[in-house]
Structure 1
Amino acid sequence: MPRLESAEFAARYFRPRQPVVITDMATQWPACQRWSFDFFAQLDPDRAVTLEKGNVLQDETAFESARMADYLTGLTQAGHAVSGAEDEGTAKRYLSMLRIFEQFPQLRADVDFSLLEAMTLKQVYFAWLGPAGTLTGYHIDWIDNILAQISGRKRVWLVPPSASPAMYPSSKYDYRSTLSEVEPNTWDAKRHPLFATVRPVEITLEPGQMLFIPRGWWHRVMSLTPSISINAFGHDLSGLLLYQSRASLLHGLHQLGLYGREDCTCHKKTADSKRAK
């Protein structure tokens, strides 16, 4: 879909909860013209950032801290592409879920998520910066999502909500999400036999393209090249009432150690305790 007006987006995609690739709306964003690893490294070189290590959704939760400029300079120097399976699932360090406009509010004018903003009452925005081979495993977000590719390329696998039994929802806790137990590269047919029936839709996002991922759709994302992406999550009224209230309650219980603390994406196990991300 080259361009979308708000009314068409609402009628054909947002309300029916149907994904769509939008190919010609972000291409002229200032972000697509000037954002790069060097650009971000110079914004706040000494800022401490938290990096995911590997696929924390299906594998063990692991992360580390780094100086922002050191991490991003390393990506500039070491970037290479992957063909698909190469490097997939290895422990790449990933600057994920950077609350970009809270930390760099001056960048807000560089993007335009008005399509989603017109449909939702509350939004939150994240940037994703990393090398080729970063992998975010299968999961459902309880909130509608537009993912915009700024530079580099990403591959996305989409599975509809109707296939949820075959995706084997996990007990691992992740805020405002449901994770799958299944990672296709290490899939065990004896443990997860129904996964053999899953037929994901596979999409490659190019720079300047956006993908609408409705809440409830399973998705898995891998960077094919060094990549910068940004996404907007948005809740409409039903999302706020049905999903955000539940997410907030579970998060509060989790912080108190009463829910999901044995296995989660926000604490990693140490020798004798768990450490927060």
Structure 2
Amino acid sequence: MNIVSEIVKQSQPVEEITSIDSATFKKNYFNKKKPVIIKGFAKDWGATKNWDLDFLLNLKEDKNIFLLSDNFIQDDNRYKKASFKKYIQQLKDAESNNTSVKDYLTTLDIFEYYPHLKSDIDFSFFEKHTKVNDITAWIGPANTISGFHADTANNVYAQIRGKKMFIISSTKFNKTMYPSKKHIYGAVASDVDINNFNNTKFPEFKNNKFKSVVLEPGDVLFVPQNWWHYVQALAPSISISNFGYTKFEVYSLKFKERIIQSLHKRGFYKPNNCFCCEIQ
């Protein structure tokens, strides 16, 4: 049973502001672990002004990438090898021919691939409070889904093209978000799939409190670390996320996660009990 609309209907809006400086952000949101949407914050970024499928196709070099499809959190999924430009062309052809594409590009280290593009974004209000920032791109068609999960890092998420809906829930509801026992690097997944909901298995889930928001081009959303969130693309979209770690977290949380991931890959920690997506 699909309960997405039901959850959105019962949700409250995320606090909305139209501007921010680093000191206010730290005091009112970063330190308090409070979500906020900054409407139009990125509207003047080079990325928001210039990035579209044609822009990406015209980048000089092609790159090897890995694609996913469906709900990559709750579904049994596998990465697919692909060419960056062939995939972008596939998206463009689908838009022109009004056909559908299921595959999407997730957590692409875009600035390692194309370093010159980094000047097209500006997360400085956030990066003044972090030591390490993992910045990735999300590119894909409408209706892509990242099911409920909680990232261990603070996340600032910028919508560059298209629209995406976020449903988020506080750490207060950790128990009734039904955390999965499976290993997932840098996050905790929920066992609940709201597109195929089972009320018998998750009877208390609907009692959780939720917030929801639709991001439009130029909007920036702060999702505090360990907050649960579900993401659905409402249109073909390009997004940039910045997972930030403080100096303390770099030498504690991030170091610990890398050790756990290393042990997992070697079969010493939750072997064959994970959300790791093997490559096809």
What is the TM-score normalised by the length of structure 1? 0.89
Opposite residue 29 of structure 1, the aligned amino acid is W
Structure 1 Cα separation of the partners of residues 157 and 60 of structure 2 = 24
Q: Report the counterpart of residue 215 of structure 1 in structure 2.
A: 225
Amino acid of the structure 2 residue aligned with 1:71? Y
Q: Describe the superposition over 1:166-225 as per-residue Cα deviations: whole angstroms up to 9, x where unpaired.
A: 111112222110000001121111111111212321100000000001101000101000
Residue 44 (structure 1) shift: 5.0
1:19 aligns with 2:35: yes
Q: Which runs of 5+ in 1 are unaligned?
A: 81-86, 269-275
Could you say which residue in structure 2 is the equivalent of 1:271?
none
Code of the residue aligned with 2:246 in structure 1: it is D
Query: Which of 180, 197, 203 is the matching residue for 2:190?
Result: 180
SS of 1:267's equivalent in the other structure is coil
Q: Which residue of 2 aligns with 1:151?
A: 161
Give runs of aligned pairs for residues 234-249 of structure 1, distance below 5 A. Answer: 234-249=244-259
- Which whole-Å deviations, capped at 9, do the CAs of 1:61-104 have from their partners, x for residues lacking one? 22211121221112122239xxxxxx9xxx92110000011111
Mapping of residues 236-275 of structure 1, within 5 Å? 236-268=246-278
Which residues in structure 2 correspond to 1:77-226 (within 5 Å)? 77-79=93-95, 92-226=102-236
**SS at the partner of 1:248?**
helix
Letter in 2 for 1:159: S
Distance in 2 between residues matched to 1:102 and 1:6, nearest whole Å: 26
For the residues of structure 1 that align with 2:46 and 2:103, how far apart are their CA atoms? 27
Alpha-carbon distance between aligned partners in 2 of 1:70 and 1:263, rounded to the nearest angstrom: 33
Q: What is the rounded CA distance, in whole Å, between the counterparts of 1:55 and 1:183 in structure 2?
A: 9
Instruction: Name which of 78, 82, 88 aligns with 1:62.
Output: 78
Greater displacement, 238-247 / 56-65: 238-247
Q: Greater RCO between the two (CA within 8 Å, min separation 6)?
A: 2
**Number of matched pairs:** 261
Question: Where do 4+ consecutive residues of structure 1 move more than 4 Å?
Answer: none
In the aligned structure 1, how far is the partner of 2:103 from the partner of 2:262?
Answer: 28
174-183 or 241-250: bigger deviation: 241-250
* CA root-mean-square deviation: 1.7
In the alignment, the residues of structure 2 paired with residue 61 and residue 229 of structure 1 have an alpha-carbon distance, to the nearest angstrom, of 21
In the alignment, which of 15, 19, 42 is matched to residue 58 of structure 2? Answer: 42
Helix, strand or coil at the partner of 2:104: strand
2:10 corresponding residue in structure 1: none
What amino acid sits opposite 1:233 in the alignment?
F
1:134-160 deviations in Å (ceiling 9; x for gaps): 001111111011000001000000100
Aligned residue number for residue 52 of structure 1:
68
Instruction: Give per-residue Cα distances to partners, 1:219-272, cap 9 Å, x unaligned.
Output: 01010000000011111134234421221111110121212331333333xxxx
Once the two structures are superposed, residues 109-155 of structure 1 have per-residue CA deviations (whole angstroms, 9 ceiling, x without a partner) of: 00000011001111110000000010011111110110000010000
Once residues 130 and 66 of structure 2 are traced to their aligned partners in structure 1, the CA distance between those partners, rounded to angstroms, is 29
Tell me which moved more, 61-70 or 177-186: 61-70
Q: CA 1:45/1:102 → structure 2, altered by over 3 Å: closer, same or farther?
A: closer
Distance 1:25 1:8 in 2: 15
Contact 1:168–1:180 (CA<8 Å) still a contact in 2? yes
Decide whether the 8 Å contact of 1:53 with 1:64 is kept in 2.
Answer: no
Gaps of 5+ in 2: 1-16
Q: Which letter does structure 2 place at the counterpart of 1:239?
A: E
1:272 aligns with: none
- Counterpart secondary structure, 1:245: helix
